[in-house]
Amino acid sequence: MKAELLTIGDEILIGQIVNTNSVWMALQLNQCGIAVTHMSSVGDDVAAIVNALDAASTRADLVFITGGLGPTKDDITKKTFADYFDAPLETDEEVLESIVNFFSRRGRETTLINRQQALVPKGCFVVKNLHGTAPGMWMQKKGVQFISMPGVPYEMEAMMSNIILPKIISENKLPHIYHRTILTNGIGESALAELIESWEDQLAAKRIKLAYLPQTGMVRLRLSANGPDLQLLREKIDAEVEALKTIAGQYVFGYENYGEETPGIAKVLSQLLRERGESIALAESCTGGYVSSLITAIAGASEVFKGAIVPYTNLAKQELLQVDPNIFQTTGSVSKECVIQLAEHVRQKFNSTYAISISGIAGPGGATPEKPVGTVWIAVCSAEKTQALHFQFGEHRQRNIVATAAAALGLTRKFILKEE
Amino acid sequence: MKAELLTIGDEILIGQIVNTNSVWMALQLNQCGIAVTHMSSVGDDVAAIVNALDAASTRADLVFITGGLGPTKDDITKKTFADYFDAPLETDEEVLESIVNFFSRRGRETTLINRQQALVPKGCFVVKNLHGTAPGMWMQKKGVQFISMPGVPYEMEAMMSNIILPKIISENKLPHIYHRTILTNGIGESALAELIESWEDQLAAKRIKLAYLPQTGMVRLRLSANGPDLQLLREKIDAEVEALKTIAGQYVFGYENYGEETPGIAKVLSQLLRERGESIALAESCTGGYVSSLITAIAGASEVFKGAIVPYTNLAKQELLQVDPNIFQTTGSVSKECVIQLAEHVRQKFNSTYAISISGIAGPGGATPEKPVGTVWIAVCSAEKTQALHFQFGEHRQRNIVATAAAALGLTRKFILKEE
């Protein structure tokens, strides 16, 4: 099966936003064995949209359209679709009900503009929008499927994952593809590639593909194979995962299920704490609340997270967390001594099982000859033990914050599992 | 003048890389007054490339092509170009010399594959590549200009900035395009659209385009117009921005410079505090450190940010921030009474000019019939005054956190400017 992606919206053509929807869709479709052969972007312009639909229909079996479905006046897409399929727009009562509910739950009136979002071309298959008000519309013309979705990424992604892809897979007999993605932390892409080189080299003969998916603080390894027998694919790939773990198991912190969001190290750590009935507290200086925000982003955080203090000044470290002021004169606040006191005192303050403390120089300011930008100290402690480690990250402030968070959470997971 | 962008390469179609080249080119071309009307991506496939060139030539004056010129792929792509323009490939001696120099400077031999990069279609204008070995090729067919460049971003960007754009601008008398983007906060897209409806309706007659660019916690409004006189365009659009401010000024917190990163509300607030020599501290419950992480993500945060406490439990609110424990029995921790005490006490603890406090139910758990998921109280205070406001957001945990942060920061900016 061949698919094309069409993005509608002036904001793409003037370079105001990066087209990440196309990347996400291309990945998902390729993983289902559907080849994406063409992508295009046009503006909010009737003739351009009609021409793009016509051109796509001569080449592809499936045309995925995003954007142009917002409630405001710059969006002419829906009217253009209806005309293209010679179908009048009519109100879908189910969609209207969900729109009215959407606003009433927020204590707001449903305006006329909102109500117009329930209009869909007659005869189309309506794709429910669980996260917004614009429905998806699945239409057909001369054997080609056209699927129109909103441009808001999380709305589109939910429609694709929950409704559209399962429907396409079940209605067409697509070959099986099996993926397994391994999450690693605490090692960079190049070092990991060297470590697992001989294991990687033998994958090709088994027709298994390996992809490195690096991001700050985490490298994901995706193994993929396809064939007629899903069980066989599963066994083949699972055996390779086990082999990898004997080589690089100390860096593996979890796995990603296909079609689901990547469980970051914060989620894996939260799960571990929940299973053990334990809790955590934080003293974050250079990360400024970022690590806490990662933990509290996960539903049910209150079961494992007691709280945090962000002592951004030396005075706050001293007054709120009883750091010995002599430390600021001797080793400075970015030091082993300081993070040990921060961790132990914040654990006592929140009466948590474990505590993490972080002090570093995120940059661009604050560096000294001995402590360049990217210098970070992290401590983890329990009632029995405290561990402190030094890290040297790079020069980019936001990447230093993200890398520090990943290191702190990975270190804590190992500390709890006594793998450190 | 109309331009189209064509990207060649399988890596785009399988979702392996994000097409940032198109964004960069679109921005540059728009700034020169050249409208980009279509973007497309095809694979390393002769028929697909020829079809894309044909289609583009019927619509555009300029076609910018990137990718497909690497030393391993150019057998297909460059040959396809040459055939398309009925021009045989021949070695450009100047390019060959620069390739040989490129490798000898790196102490390497020039291989046959490298030498083939000096082949260009006969009669083309060769665009020098200062940063790599694949030359750009500028061809013409039936009045349409085709400019082919390598896909490596810095190679393409140098060619565009130094050679291609100056040549286009000098050879054509181009109309100017002027954009201005207004940042709003504290109002949703639909409500904003209704508020400014009559203002919006009169823009078309003035040939000004308006686009809504919504995201959680912010709606950007982009005004665009084109014409021969840049000064006139600027005056025309600036006058509309002023008119808009009389209607919706209370929601406007800043402007985005075209081609630069959007300054979020955290950045605008930090800048305001820096200008006034003032500081802030936070007590964040349901946002769990997220607001602090936004403020500390900005370089120089230590000048304006004193620190934060994340009291995720009632006990922590009581012990660390002296919230009256009777509150938990009466109004509960998600209440006006609680956030007022949190804000005032955290301000005193950090001795900051202002403080923000937040308590709410991010979800999915923790709701009661009176306080559904999305219920949030926010307080802002100075030494003289405390203000507390109730918000009702939606059902999605992470969006509630992001929306709460935007509301808290927007409210604080107004509080400081006494616009509340």
- pLDDT per residue over B236-248, tens digit each? 999 999 999 999 9
The better pLDDT of the pair B157, A296 is held by A296
**pTM assigned to the model:** 0.76
Q: Is B116 exposed, middle or buried (0-12, 13-18, 19+ CB in 10 A)?
A: middle
pLDDT digits (tens, 9 = 90+) for A305-336: 999 999 999 999 999 999 999 999 999 999 99
Q: How do strand B280-284 and strand B354-360 relate by DSSP bridges?
A: parallel
Question: Closest by alpha carbon to A124, among A136, A108, A114?
Answer: A136
CB contact under 8 A, B297 and A39: no
> How close B356 comes to chain A (CA, Å)?
14
Question: Closest by alpha carbon to B290, among B237, B217, B341?
Answer: B217
Which residues of chain B does A301 touch, with a Cβ-Cβ cutoff of 8 Å? 288, 312
CB contact under 8 A, A397 and B200: no
CB contact under 8 A, A305 and B296: no
Tokens representing residue A151 in the block: 């441009």
Q: What is the dihedral of CA B140, B144, B149, B151, to 10 degrees?
A: -150
Longest Cα–Cα distance in chain B:
87
Comparing alpha-carbon positions, the chain A residue that sits nearest to B14 is A26
Residue A72 has pLDDT above 90, yes or no: no
Comparing alpha-carbon positions, the chain B residue that sits nearest to A105 is B394
Tokens representing residue A130 in the block: 């669980």
From the list A25, A43, A312, which residue is nearest B305 (CB)?
A312
Per the CB < 8 A criterion, the answer to whether B283 and B309 are in contact is: yes
Per the CB < 8 A criterion, the answer to whether B124 and B87 are in contact is: yes
In this predicted structure, which of A136-140, A207-211, A397-401 has the lowest mean pLDDT? Answer: A207-211
Per the CB < 8 A criterion, the answer to whether B308 and A284 are in contact is: no
Per the CB < 8 A criterion, the answer to whether A343 and A380 are in contact is: yes
At residue B393, φ and ψ (nearest 5 deg) are -95, -160
Which residues of chain B does A280 touch, with a Cβ-Cβ cutoff of 8 Å? none
Residue A105 has pLDDT above 90, yes or no: no
Determine the Cα–Cα distance for residues A379 and A411; give it in Å rounded to an integer.
9
Neighbours of B401 (CB within 10 A): 28
Q: Is B104 exposed, middle or buried (0-12, 13-18, 19+ CB in 10 A)?
A: exposed
Quick one: pLDDT at residue A108?
82
At residue B342, φ and ψ (nearest 5 deg) are -60, -45
Neighbours of B65 (CB within 10 A): 25
The better pLDDT of the pair B308, A81 is held by B308
> How close A286 comes to chain B (CA, Å)?
8
Question: What element of type H or E holds B114?
Answer: helix B112-116
Q: How do strand B218-227 and strand B144-149 relate by DSSP bridges?
A: unpaired
Which residues of chain A does B392 touch, with a Cβ-Cβ cutoff of 8 Å? 106-107
Residue A73 has pLDDT above 70, yes or no: no
What residues contact residue B332 under an 8 Å CB cut-off, 6+ apart? B338, B371
Question: What element of type H or E holds B138?
Answer: strand B136-141
Quick one: pLDDT at residue A305?
98
Mean pLDDT score, A125-147 = 93
From the list A38, A289, A319, which residue is nearest B293 (CB)?
A289
| Residue A370 CA, distance from chain mean position | 36
CB contact under 8 A, A26 and B12: yes
Determine the Cα–Cα distance for residues B286 and B288; give it in Å rounded to an integer.
5
CB contact under 8 A, B297 and A15: no
Determine the Cα–Cα distance for residues A14 and B265; give it in Å rounded to an integer.
23
Q: Which pLDDT band holds residue A414 (cuts at 50, 70, 90)?
A: very high
Question: What element of type H or E holds A11?
Answer: helix A10-13
Burial A173-185 (b: 16+ CB within 10 A, else e): eeebbbbbbbbbb
DSSP helix/strand/coil, B6: strand
List Cα–Cα distances, B13 to A4, A35, A410, B8, B299, in angstroms.
9, 8, 34, 9, 37
Q: Which pLDDT band holds residue A76 (cuts at 50, 70, 90)?
A: confident
Burial B199-219 (b: 16+ CB within 10 A, else e): ebeebeeeebebbbbbebbbb
DSSP helix/strand/coil, A304: coil
Determine the Cα–Cα distance for residues B357 and B372; give it in Å rounded to an integer.
20
> How close B108 comes to chain A (CA, Å)?
24
- In DSSP notation, A313-359 reads SHHHHHHHH---THHHHTT-SSSHHHHHHHHHHHHHHHT-SEEEEEE
Question: What element of type H or E holds B230?
Answer: helix B230-248
Q: How do strand B119-121 and strand B89-91 relate by DSSP bridges?
A: antiparallel
CB contact under 8 A, A307 and B310: yes
Tokens representing residue B61 in the block: 């004056």
From the list B38, B259, B372, which residue is nearest A42 (CB)?
B38
Which residues of chain B does A39 touch, with a Cβ-Cβ cutoff of 8 Å? 12-13, 40-41
What residues contact residue B258 under an 8 Å CB cut-off, 6+ apart? B27, B30, B31, B179, B180, B181
Average pLDDT, chain A: 92
A364 prior amide bond cis, ω within 30: yes
Residue A103 has pLDDT above 90, yes or no: no
Partner residues linked to A378 by β-bridges: A358, A389
| Residue A265 CA, distance from chain mean position | 12
Neighbours of A382 (CB within 10 A): 17
Where helices occur in A149-289 by DSSP H, the ranges are 153-159, 165-171, 189-195, 197-201, 230-248, 265-276
Per the CB < 8 A criterion, the answer to whether B19 and A13 are in contact is: no
Which domains does chain A show, CATH number per domain? Answer: 2-171 (3.40.980.10), 176-256 (3.30.70.2860), 265-416 (3.90.950.20)
Determine the Cα–Cα distance for residues A105 and A327; give it in Å rounded to an integer.
53
Look at the alpha carbons of A348, A349, A350, A355 in this order and tell me if their dihedral is positive or negative. negative
Question: What element of type H or E holds A102?
Answer: helix A93-105
CB contact under 8 A, A39 and B394: no
Per the CB < 8 A criterion, the answer to whether A81 and A23 are in contact is: no
Tokens representing residue B41 in the block: 């991506």
ipTM of predicted assembly, 2 dp: 0.75
Per the CB < 8 A criterion, the answer to whether B289 and B296 are in contact is: no
From the list B20, B209, B289, which residue is nearest A293 (CB)?
B289
Low-confidence ranges of chain B (pLDDT < 50): none
List Cα–Cα distances, B412 to A352, B72, B344, B355, in angstroms.
32, 56, 14, 9
